[in-house]
Amino acid sequence: MKVFQNKFFLICLCIALVLCTVSTTFSLMGYREPVREVLGVIATPFRWGATVVTDAVSGFFKHFQLQGALIDRNEQLEEEISRLEAEKNYAELLEEENKRLRDYLGMKDKYPSFLLEEAMVIGSEASDYMTVFTLNRGTAHGISINMPVVVKAGVVGYVIEVGLTWCKVSTILEKSADSKGIGAYIENSGTMGVVIGDYTLEQQGLCKMTYIEEGADIKVGDLVLSSGVGSVYPADLIIGVVEEVTVDEYSRTIVANVRPTVDFSALHYVLIITGYETGDNGDYQKPVTTPPADQTTEEEDDYVPPGVGNGGYG
């Protein structure tokens, strides 16, 4: 090993060993050699400068890294927003359906004797105010003419025309030659009358209660309910609230303008009363007095027509 036997190697080895030994010994004893101390002092400003430059440069690159991260994060958040919006829309749909079903349940609770068929409003036939509209239920669903249509808020109207999968409903605001009135009474006083549509009032979203006995006690704000007299509507359905009490200038009888409790402009789902229990024996009757000839069935014949002669109102 000639390589390790020359003088230079041995001298250098000794120096290196001494340096290592002294450094390690001082270090283990917790002291710093003077040379190290001097070197450290000299190096400090350089190290400070290097650190500042490094931080600045790495900060500069970090800015771009951060920008990339922010872009990624932004994309993630946008996806998240899209997902949440979709969920929100779905939740709103569910909420609407839930509300509708609760209303339906409310109706079932409120009128346990009713046979109800839920229907969706799929069209209207009025320009300024929805007075006749179309539902997505027809004879295929057991719907027939003159069946009352209600919502939780109150009476909507009745079926005036029916097809296989659709039917048309005339609202209580509608005034036509063959429209039926509703036998009604004032909840507070028990005053009887008939609620019918009126050309003039229809535009204001009102209908009128007529055939009120003279001297009847009617006040603005009184609740008007169906009396069950007639062929179409069962008793105790909410019709509306008395908004104004006047005297007919021709007949000199009392007329009450009634604002329906139903908001016809916001109807999306309604309930068709396909039958209701009468008496104590649990029999159901259909609210139909004059079904079309082609829709009469044996089953319908089993039902007892509820009305007394309609006399022009239902």
Partner 1 sequence: MAKYILGRQAQTRSEIIRYCVIIGTTLFLLAIIQTSVMGRIKPFGVTPDLIITAVLTVTLICGYHAGSITGIAAGFIIDALASTGISLLPLIYFIMAYLIGYYVKVLNAHGYLSYLICFAIALGVRFLTTFAYTLLTYREIDFSSFLLSLALPELLGTLLFGALIFFPLLGICVRLQGKR
Residues written for the chain: 314
Binding of partner 1 at residue 19 (CB under 8 A)?
yes
Stretch that binds partner 1, among 43-51, 180-188, 216-224, 249-257 (CB under 8 A): 43-51
Amino acid at 49: G
> Which residue is listed with tokens 């044996």?
298
Q: How far is the CB of 16 from partner 1 (least distance, A)?
A: 4
Stretch that binds partner 1, among 51-59, 111-119, 175-183, 292-300 (CB under 8 A): 51-59
Which two tokens mark 123?
A: 């069209």
DSSP 3-state of 292: coil
Binding of partner 1 at residue 24 (CB under 8 A)?
yes
Residue from 35, 140, 164, 308 in contact with partner 1 (CB under 8 A) = 35
Q: How far is the CB of 96 from partner 1 (least distance, A)?
A: 55
Stretch that binds partner 1, among 26-34, 97-105, 210-218, 250-258 (CB under 8 A): 26-34
Spatial distance between the Cα atoms of 165 and 150, rounded to a whole number of angstroms: 19
Residue from 31, 39, 91, 302 in contact with partner 1 (CB under 8 A) = 39
Residue from 1, 3, 29, 56 in contact with partner 1 (CB under 8 A) = 3
Nearer to partner 1, 31 or 90 (CB): 31
Spatial distance between the Cα atoms of 167 and 158, rounded to a whole number of angstroms: 10
Q: How far is the CB of 66 from partner 1 (least distance, A)?
A: 16
Nearer to partner 1, 12 or 120 (CB): 12
Binding of partner 1 at residue 297 (CB under 8 A)?
no
Binding of partner 1 at residue 53 (CB under 8 A)?
yes
Spatial distance between the Cα atoms of 17 and 12, rounded to a whole number of angstroms: 8
> Which residue is listed with tokens 């329906």?
260
Spatial distance between the Cα atoms of 237 and 188, rounded to a whole number of angstroms: 15
Binding of partner 1 at residue 8 (CB under 8 A)?
yes
Q: How far is the CB of 59 from partner 1 (least distance, A)?
A: 11
Binding of partner 1 at residue 65 (CB under 8 A)?
no
Beta bridge partners of 132: 170
In terms of Cα–Cα distance, which of 239, 230, 237 is closest to 207? 239
* Direct distance between the N- and C-terminal alpha carbons of the chain, in angstroms, rounded to an integer: 127
In terms of Cα–Cα distance, which of 166, 154, 159, 250 is closest to 195? 154
Spatial distance between the Cα atoms of 226 and 233, rounded to a whole number of angstroms: 7
- Fill in the DSSP letter of residue 293: G
Binding site for partner 1 (CB under 8 A): 3, 8-9, 11-13, 15-17, 19-20, 23-24, 27-28, 33, 35-36, 39-40, 42-43, 46-47, 50-51, 53-55, 58
